[in-house]
Structure 1
């Protein structure tokens, strides 16, 4: 118990010391006097993740079409405003995109930069509504670990960023991310109009690609700053690199699972029938791919169908035993059911001596 008490006291002392090097310009700004409001909002968010699904369990999902349209386009406007302010403030203050230390002066352009970054921090708190809308619409599958991790950590960590480094190199990542969020919320806003617009939104997966590029650029830019020993807090550099790596892993896994992963082949049950669908997903046109379009007779003579509907009322024709080509080593056994072929072999082609079917090059033609 004494160790725990000692650890708590050390943490409090460290926090008091850190306040002495915090940015005095933002001390009186909303939410910036103490971390408690930010932590309280984030705690309420996490609590809603647990309470929300229980509340909606026996209720119909809310239809929030108009609300989502207004919300998403409002986020487009907010992020565009942040992007514009960061760009104009950086240009007016003569910022360098390679190395820019923090200027804690009360210069009008530096204060404008700090204010733009504060709005960026606030926008991350507003984005908690993304999750609220998912739960109210019972889109529980959308509330993934990546989604929660991204929303919860961004709001909390950017409070730290504004409190101690509201300017300098901090503007680079926020500037890039705000631009991406303009495109992202534009997509969500258009998608909220329904199927009439959604059919034109073919570029969804490229949003994930752009986000992953953003994280790689962030790592490269931060590593360059460390290499040239830029006069920006190194702890912030390393924190950015570590944070970006987690996003590369999580977004990369999301992209693979969503757009790259192929469905697994499902083996047919013993004695059952493999239902073919005519697509190249490991289930060929009613036959095993290993037989080059011709199915082999198994020990139990399991019939493999090719997904074609049989005509009703048609008498089933008796078929002679399968033919083997004696002149070919390892010859394949032809399917005894001629309906597996695209073209049938007429009865006139039967050899009168044995009654077997003459070989035909069109058997088991791919449909």
Structure 2
């Protein structure tokens, strides 16, 4: 209830985040970089474990709904948060987790690594959209949550191994970026379906607002463009 009534606090959090990361870059400009290898291993391992648990607790609900009720239910009926207590709890944790995930950028700043636009833009927009969607019990968000948990399970596991100097093969990084691109394509497709269902059945049958669809499709499309550009320049 607190998050529903006070979700706009997220804009203050984003403002503080921007001040910290860009102020931090200025502060670190003439200072030696921190190694932070140990904390980085712990950080990425914790986020990997959290994402893996989240995927195992939310993906079965989506698969069950698709198998027994179909695509319309998966996009338009928020039973994952209204009726499934386990999935609802992990949805709440997912939304909350977008705040501590901002800590990824702190490591980049303190280790004086390149801070690209894609990184901080992605963190801010996901945080804002997640909190906003939670206030509406957005039905299509079950897709976005499951995809994010699954991709982050692989991504943070890779980061943890890399921080521990296991040096996974380069193609693993390519696979992760490919998974992220696939996530953006599916996200856009879900929003197109949601838009069609909303126009056909109305808001009473499809629990998603037109504003949410517009914001979500703009967000996913921008991610696709940025990740595709990153893939092209990196690989």
Moved over 6 A (4+): 91-95
- 1:50 equivalent in alignment to 2:22: yes
* 1:99 aligned residue: 72
Worse-superposed segment, 130-139 or 31-40: 31-40
Unaligned runs of 5+ in 1: 1-26, 260-367
CA-to-aligned-CA distance 1:157-193 (integer Å, 9 cap, x gap): 1100111125x32101110111000000010000001
Note closer, same or farther for the CA distance 1:200–1:208 as it changes in structure 2 (3 Å cut).
closer
Distance 1:93 1:256, change over 3 A: closer
2:152 counterpart of 1:181: yes
Q: CA deviation at 1:238?
A: 2.9
Consecutive unaligned residues in structure 2, runs of 5 or more: none
Deviates more, 1:44-53 or 1:213-222: 213-222
Using CA pairs below 8 Å that are at least 6 residues apart, which structure has the higher relative contact order? 2
Q: CA deviation at 1:223?
A: 1.7
- Which of 231, 234, 238 aligns to 2:214? It is 238
Query: What SS is found at the alignment partner of 2:32?
Result: coil
From 201, 206, 209, the equivalent of 2:178 is: 209
Matched pairs, number: 225
Match of 2:124 among 117, 140, 152: 152
TM-score, normalised on structure 1? Answer: 0.56
- Please state which structure has a larger fraction of its residues in helix: 2
Q: Could you tell me whether the CA contact under 8 Å between 2:7 and 2:135 is conserved in 1?
A: no
Matches within 5 A, 1:118-267: 118-139=92-113, 141=114, 143-166=115-138, 168-194=139-165, 197-198=166-167, 200-228=169-197, 229=200, 231-235=206-210, 236-259=212-235
Distance in 2 (alpha carbons) for counterparts of 1:200 and 1:120: 29
Per the TM alignment, residue 239 of structure 1 is displaced from its structure 2 partner at its CA by 2.5
Kindly provide the CA deviation profile for residues 2-53 of structure 1, in whole angstroms up to 9, marking residues without a partner as x.
Answer: xxxxxxxxxxxxxxxxxxxxxxxxx14xx44313432222111100122101
Query: CA deviation digits over 1:112-134, x for unaligned, max 9?
Result: 33322221112211111110000
CA distance in 2, matches of 1:192, 1:61: 16
- Please report the TM-score for the alignment, with normalisation by the length of structure 2: 0.85
CA RMSD, Structure 1 to Structure 2 (Å): 2.4
Q: In structure 1, how many angstroms separate the alpha carbons of the residues matched to 2:111 and 2:69? A: 44
Describe the superposition over 1:104-151 as per-residue Cα deviations: whole angstroms up to 9, x where unpaired.
Answer: 799651x43332222111221111111000001111x1x111111100
Say if 1:89 and 1:112, in contact at 8 Å, map to a contact too.
Answer: no
In the alignment, structure 1 residue 114 sits paired with structure 2 residue 88? yes
Map Cα deviations across residues 236-292 of structure 1 (whole Å, 9 max, x no partner). Answer: 233222211111111111111112xxxxxxxxxxxxxxxxxxxxxxxxxxxxxxxxx
- In structure 2, do the counterparts of structure 1 residues 98 and 35 end up closer, same or farther at CA, with 3 Å as the change threshold? same
